[in-house]
């Protein structure tokens, strides 16, 4: 984008060509985006951290934007492998990095810290709390039992179905609906009527030009890459059995908006606020609940998020 003076490059990692955006010099900060997003979700944070003496690095994950992908390979082990190989390529071998994740990026960041804690100095994770593996029940089975067949993650499971429905709705409208979603209740996408017909009034923090950028990249790739992360949930459950009961042992700050559907899911508030997550993330240093803020908090409240990230990481920058 012309208003951002960022460096764009393609890095060959783990059998794919990964599009990476970066800016600045200093300690590395790896930003990991979620669904249905891109590196661009971190535009405000990249600029801010670069100005404050960090090297900010934000890739398009496999299946998104300008990163190539194999549509059959979206397990958490492969996606974490992509990021480890990226770090091996661009970061001096002895250096640990700071990590920031949101949405699916948060899930991937939790897994990165579980699998390769030696790579991570500290983590700021947003929206999705660490969820320990349930050895007795697969994720999709659990979600169906709680929410039913119209729940968005369940609806994403069958290849081709939601791709066709979203194509009928139109990429730009789908993205507008997702990016402005502020209902703290579960997200349901009933067949044939997954979004209402009301026109989207964009909030002050999201311009039409920004939506157009997301849409232009999504129109190139389609939604399949993003859906495939959800379609790999049960596979991830199978592949990560060896980490049942494992704890995240890196310093963490967790941030979530009080209108985020993740924060309002059954049991989430108590889990986050009453010490259960701390048992699974023993180095959890701070939990921040932002009032009247939705899911895409790093775009909705960039100044506050930038400050939270910087304040947390600067305590580790000399170590």
C-alpha radius of gyration, the chain, whole number: 18
Residues 221/63, Cβ–Cβ less than 8 Å: yes
Which residues belong to the active site? 103, 230, 295
Cα distances from 100 to residues 35, 76, 109, 150, in angstroms, run 15, 17, 7, 31
Query: What does residue 236 show for φ and ψ, rounded to 5 degrees?
Result: -60, -40
- Collect the ranges in the chain with pLDDT lower than 50: 1-2, 319
Q: What is the dihedral of CA 263, 265, 268, 273, to 10 degrees?
A: 40
Query: What does residue 146 show for φ and ψ, rounded to 5 degrees?
Result: -80, -45
Give the model confidence (pLDDT) of 231-265 as tens digits.
Answer: 999 999 999 999 999 999 999 999 999 999 999 99
> What is the DSSP pairing of strand 16-23 with strand 7-13?
antiparallel
Residues 213/181, Cβ–Cβ less than 8 Å: no
Residues 290/301, Cβ–Cβ less than 8 Å: yes
Of all helices (H) and strands (E), which one includes residue 83? helix 76-90
Query: What does residue 64 show for φ and ψ, rounded to 5 degrees?
Result: -120, 150
Percent of the chain with pLDDT over 90: 91
The per-residue pLDDT for 318 is 60
The per-residue pLDDT for 1 is 41
Give the model confidence (pLDDT) of 168-225 as tens digits.
Answer: 999 999 999 999 999 899 999 998 777 777 889 999 999 999 999 999 999 999 999 9
Strand partners, 100: 31, 124
Cβ contacts of residue 105 below 8 Å, gap of 6+? 31, 32, 33, 34, 61
């Amino acid at each position: 984008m012309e208003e951002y003076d960022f460096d764009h490059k393609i890095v060959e990692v783990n059998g794919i060509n990964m599009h990476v955006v970066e800016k600045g010099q200093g300690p590395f900060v790896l930003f990991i985006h979620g669904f249905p997003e891109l590196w661009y979700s971190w535009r405000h944070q990249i600029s801010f951290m670069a100005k404050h003496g960090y090297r900010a690095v934000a890739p398009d994950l496999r299946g998104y934007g300008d990163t190539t992908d194999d549509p059959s390979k979206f397990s958490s082990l492969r996606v974490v492998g992509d990021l480890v190989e990226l770090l091996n390529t661009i970061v001096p071998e002895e250096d640990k990095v700071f990590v920031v994740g949101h949405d699916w990026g948060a899930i991937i960041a939790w897994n990165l810290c579980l699998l390769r804690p030696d790579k991570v100095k500290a983590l700021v994770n947003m929206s999705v709390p660490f969820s320990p593996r349930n050895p007795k029940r697969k994720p999709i089975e659990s979600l169906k039992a709680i929410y039913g067949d119209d729940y968005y993650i369940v609806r994403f499971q069958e290849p081709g179905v939601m791709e066709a429905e979203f194509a009928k709705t139109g990429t730009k409208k789908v993205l507008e609906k997702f990016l402005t979603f502020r209902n703290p209740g579960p997200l349901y996408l009933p067949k044939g009527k997954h979004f209402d017909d009301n026109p989207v009034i964009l909030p002050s923090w999201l311009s039409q030009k920004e939506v157009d950028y997301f849409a232009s990249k999504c129109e190139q790739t389609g939604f399949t890459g993003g859906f495939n992360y959800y379609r790999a949930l049960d596979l991830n459950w199978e592949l990560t059995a060896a980490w049942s009961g494992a704890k995240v042992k890196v310093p963490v700050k967790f941030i979530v908006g009080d209108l985020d559907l993740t924060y309002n899911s059954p049991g989430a508030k108590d889990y986050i606020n009453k010490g259960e997550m701390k048992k699974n993330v023993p180095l959890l240093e701070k939990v921040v609940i932002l009032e009247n803020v939705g899911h895409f908090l790093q775009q909705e409240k960039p100044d506050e998020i930038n400050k939270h990230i910087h304040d947390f990481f600067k305590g580790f920058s000399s170590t």
